[in-house]
Structure 1
Amino acid sequence: MSRTTTTGDRQATGFAQRPGRGRFNAAFFRLMGPYLERSLRPRKRRVFAGVAGDVAEIGPGVGANLPYLPAGAALIAIEPNRYMHDGLRTAALRSGVALDLRERTAEQTGLPDASVDTVISSLVLCSVQDPDAVLAEIRRILRPGGSFRFVEHVVAPSGTPTRASQRLFRRPWAWTFEGCSCERDLERSLRSAGFAEVEVEHYRLHTPLLPFNPQIAGVARA
């Protein structure tokens, strides 16, 4: 049987709750989830394979990654957007995952040093305020030998039509998706974050969401 708990500390430091956009994004990812999963599933299966121990997820949204956790797993969910919480709780019940839901930002999880074995994320580092601070926080909470497993969208190569579309849609995209940037070189951030080892695969989705299509997936080890 799954259970859900929410910590008493509900300070989502640095995150502005926006009812209109918050509800829109929660609905968008519930509706688009199956479509996105069909495209992302091969990478998620590879990257999230063998996840075990104490697991934290940065920005789980409405729970797209819960099916990739082992049966009976427990998850510490760092999700500042409270409009995602109902969908996340429902998904946790459906997946049989024990959910420890914390309304915090990824820059300040509130977790102790070296307290988790694995951190996972998908389509999240695009929207955090400070990706370098988030990666430093992930390293802080990982136990030695632990891993950060990620599937993220990134900036396209210069001079490509996709890069031009990312520049063109930068402002409306960020406004609609609550700060999401299509122009982050997350591989460079990962490789300079101090992890012992970083494995990155570049690939491209083929969706109508052109600025979103350049992607990376991989594992960074503490």
Structure 2
Amino acid sequence: MTETTERSPSAFHQHAGRGAFNAAFFAAVGPYLNAAQRRYKGAVFADLPEVVVEFGSGVGANLPYLTPGGTLIAIEPNRSMHARLRAAAARRGVHLDLRERTAEDTGLPDRSVDTVISSLVLCTVTDPAGVLAEVRRILRPGGTFRFVEHVVAPEGTPTRTAQRVLRRPWAWTFEGCSCERDLESAVRSAGFADVEVERYRLHTPFVPFNPQIAGIARA
């Protein structure tokens, strides 16, 4: 499939070593994580339209949910992800409109898209509220934001303790990723017309990452 690429100045400052590590890590671990999340992704990413905007497309973990022959507008500032993302899009027969921009500033027109998706992305952005405002800006009325994200664990639980103890090394390794964000509250307070959220827990060795939510927010 053909591909277009847009680059623009952004607030994302890529670390050469960690950027490459994360691209390799998610390429290797992605199939395992996808298997663990299949039920939840299958529900919220069902029946996607021909054109989808994805924040943090990474190495293409969510391409199997897109329609072959459709278009992915991929907002992915980490250049180390791009080669794998291009290859994955080509294998799936998806046209790739790759934008090396941050999720806070997509460059897309107001009310121009029907669906935005994200998975394991809002944990890493600098300004989650700003990203959600950008989602609302670019969605057409009635459009959907579909998300699968990991979130803060309840206070007093062993997982919450692990999140607190591992906060700094986790964030350093995964380029700012926070395990301590209440993203459900963030989405619910972002001004969407309707929000549906399912809370669940994965059972993986990545303990701080296991509390998760999946949902659909409608503009």
Matched, 1:75 2:72: yes
Count of aligned pairs: 219
**Partner SS for 1:88:** helix
CA contact (8 A) 2:198 2:215 kept: yes
The alignment status of 1:5 with 2:22, answered yes or no, reads no
Kept in 2, the 8 Å contact 1:53–1:117? The answer is no
Matched, 1:209 2:206: yes
Matches within 5 A, 1:38-187: 38-187=35-184
Deviation string, structure 1 residues 42-66 (Cα, Å, up to 9, x no partner): 1111100011143100000000000
RMSD: 0.7
- State the match for 1:15 in structure 2: 12
Structure 2: gaps of 5 or more residues: none
Q: Distance in 1 between matches of 2:89 and 2:50?
A: 17
**Cross-structure match for 1:192:** 189
Q: Unaligned stretches of 5+ in structure 1? A: none
Look up the SS of the partner of 2:106 in the other structure.
coil
Task: Assess if the C-alpha contact under 8 Å between 1:33 and 1:64 holds in 2.
Answer: yes
C-alpha distance in structure 2 between counterparts of 1:203 and 1:85, whole Å: 31
Moved over 3 A (4+): none
Query: 1:5 Cα shift?
Result: 1.1
CA–CA distance in structure 1, aligned partners of residues 31 and 96 of structure 2: 22
Q: Deviations over 1:110-136 (max 9, x none)?
A: 100001100000000000000000000
